[in-house]
Amino acid sequence: MAGVTGTVSAFDDPALGNATQQSHVQAVIDWFGPVDFRSQDAELHASGKGRPVHDLPDSPESRFLGIRLPDASEDLLRRTNPLTYLGQRLPPFLIQHGSDDDLVPVEQSMLLARALREVLPETDVRFDVIPGSLHGGPAFETEENMARVFAFLSAALAPFRQGCARQGELSA
């Protein structure tokens, strides 16, 4: 959500003491995040890779919403769905998801990647399915994968570092 709501003032809280700071981020690494709360159980059921439990009163989604997921209004579900906020000034995304995730179905990340590719250049949306991985796990933390993550961050943040260096040169 932080990656897609940086220009949405409804998510800013000046009471936090940083009213003059912009809230958009420069890059997003999304590891197996949910996107559309309502479709997760159907996707798990269809794939046979997990036990649909998102509609339960104590599910993370129900607790986040403050109401049992099946009882949530369409408006509330829309406001908690990152796809609602796709538009201008989005940062680059690296999305990674385990192929056998039994908690958040891989289809959630597929949905996000497809939607992002409609509004961002292809080079700004990287999507990796980690074969055989569940919801997280050692495959995400391998030396090879961490090198990929850091290379993504280095490329995504390079323009900002260069801009800061130029500003420092100007003010020195």
Q: 135 lies in which domain range? A: 24-171
Q: Indicate if the pLDDT at residue 118 is higher than 70.
A: yes
60 domain-assigned: yes
6 domain-assigned: no
* Strand partners for 26: none
- Tokens 């009163």 belong to 57
Q: Are 4 and 90 in contact (CB under 8 A)?
A: yes
Q: Indicate if the pLDDT at residue 170 is higher than 50.
A: no
Q: How many domains does the chain have?
A: 1
5 domain-assigned: no
Q: Indicate if the pLDDT at residue 5 is higher than 50.
A: yes
9 domain-assigned: no
**Averaged pLDDT for residues 83-112:** 96
Average pLDDT, the chain: 91
52 domain-assigned: yes
8 domain-assigned: no
Instruction: Summarize pLDDT for 33-48 with one digit per residue, the tens.
Output: 999 999 999 999 999 9
User: What is residue 168's predicted lDDT score, i.e. its pLDDT?
Assistant: 54
96 domain-assigned: yes
Which range is least confidently modeled, 9-18, 86-95, 149-158? 9-18
User: What is residue 15's predicted lDDT score, i.e. its pLDDT?
Assistant: 82
**Residue 127 maps to which CATH number?**
3.40.50.1820
101 domain-assigned: yes
82 class by beta-carbon count within 10 Å (0-12 exposed, 13-18 middle, 19+ buried): buried
